Amino acid sequence: MTMNPNLDVYAARMLPEEEYFAPGHRACLGCGPVITLKLVMKALGPRTIVSEATGCMEIVSSTYPQTAWGVPWIHVAFETAASVAAGVEAGIKALQRKGRYPDSGRITIIAIAGDGGTADIGIQALSGALERGHDFIYLCYDNEAYMNTGVQRSSQTPYGSWTTTSPFGAKSIGQKTRKKNMPSIAAAHNIPYVATACPSYPFDLFEKVRKAKAIIGPKYLHIYSPCPTGWRIEPNQTIQIGRLAVESNIFPLYEVENGVWRLTHKPQNPRPVSEYLRAQRRFSHLSEDDLAAIQRMTDDDYQKLLNMEKATQPSAVKTASPKKATAKIARSSGKGGRK
């Protein structure tokens, strides 16, 4: 198929030159998560400690005796990105208070995991860390399946997608379930900041990471990171596919700041989801009816987001008492739901 040339535009050269996730790692050609981490680390800078889950980005970056990390980095197990980060935060807090840590300033702590490490095996540790209010950023690089073990389905694998454990066949469409909504789950913990991003929109991503860094408390970033190997696309399509995901509203870019939902990019004329789906061989088995069904789901989900934005915008909650504000939110969101 032919791509609109606009989808190939990628102007990340205006970002800082310093690399804290260095080239020379062992990732596949065109790896989306690598672009994500490269940009995120540029935004965070050197005063950062990384707690990483087992997974693609851990394996490709850390195999002894080499490391791609230019900042302190720790890996313990698959499900422990958030819990280890919580310990790092508590350790530094205690040691700084007692004057026994060499650095007395604020250090950014970031937990990094893939979609399986976040939404499946790590969700309990993540929820615990968000609920306890540690001052850290949690980053999920979502490539929609267990890619490190060879493309198995996760709870982030989208409806209809082929994976090795959600194969399509005479009695199966492939993945039978819809993506678990992780940003909403994170936001339900009443944390100060939740955002979605995609490295195809580097400035939007950069701004959100910078914002997360400045906010004290738990922050959750869900970053859409295409995987050419698992999605069955060409390595030079990573940026295009990310753009198509956003421009078709499959993966909307938004943020939730102190309970206020805001779409940071609203496609004026959304592209049909078929354009996004047909570009990837993991969806090549889907029928026209299937595509139509996914279009409806996508439209519904996008409308829900618009409703949340409307319901939580500051003008909708400018009442005197917090109690009334809550009531107003509930009413507005109810109205939106009936549209």
Binding residues for other proteins, per CB under 8 A?
A: 46-49, 51, 58-59, 62-65, 67, 69-77, 79-80, 83-95, 97-98, 100-103, 107, 124-125, 127-128, 131-132
Strand partners, 166: 163
Tokens representing 45 are 């800078």
Q: In Å, what is the CA distance from 329 to each residue of 6, 302, 307, 313, 323?
A: 38, 18, 10, 9, 10
CB closer to other proteins out of 46 and 167: 46
CA contacts within 13 A on the Cβ side of 103: 10
What is the nearest approach in angstroms of other proteins to the Cβ of residue 102? 6
Output the smallest distance, CB 133 to other proteins, in A: 11
Q: Read off the tokens for 202.
A: 């580097």
- Residue whose CB is less far from other proteins, 29 or 90: 90
By the 8 A CB rule, do 101 and 95 touch?
A: yes
Of 140 and 195, the one with the shorter C-beta distance to other proteins is 140
**Which residue type is seen at 52?**
E
| Residue 152 CB, nearest approach to other proteins (Å) | 19
Shorter beta-carbon distance to other proteins: residue 89 or 247: 89
Respond yes or no on whether the N-terminal peptide bond of residue 65 is cis (omega within 30° of 0). Answer: yes
Q: Nearer Cβ to other proteins, position 102 or 322?
A: 102
| Shortest reach from residue 124's CB to other proteins, in Å | 6
Smallest gap from Cβ 187 to other proteins, in A, equals 19
In this complex, which beta carbon is closest to other proteins, that of residue 90 or of residue 214? 90
Tell me the two tokens of residue 322.
């917090």
- Shortest Cβ distance from residue 148 to other proteins (Å)? 11
CA of 25: how far to CAs of 29, 34, 59, 60, 240, in Å?
11, 9, 9, 6, 23
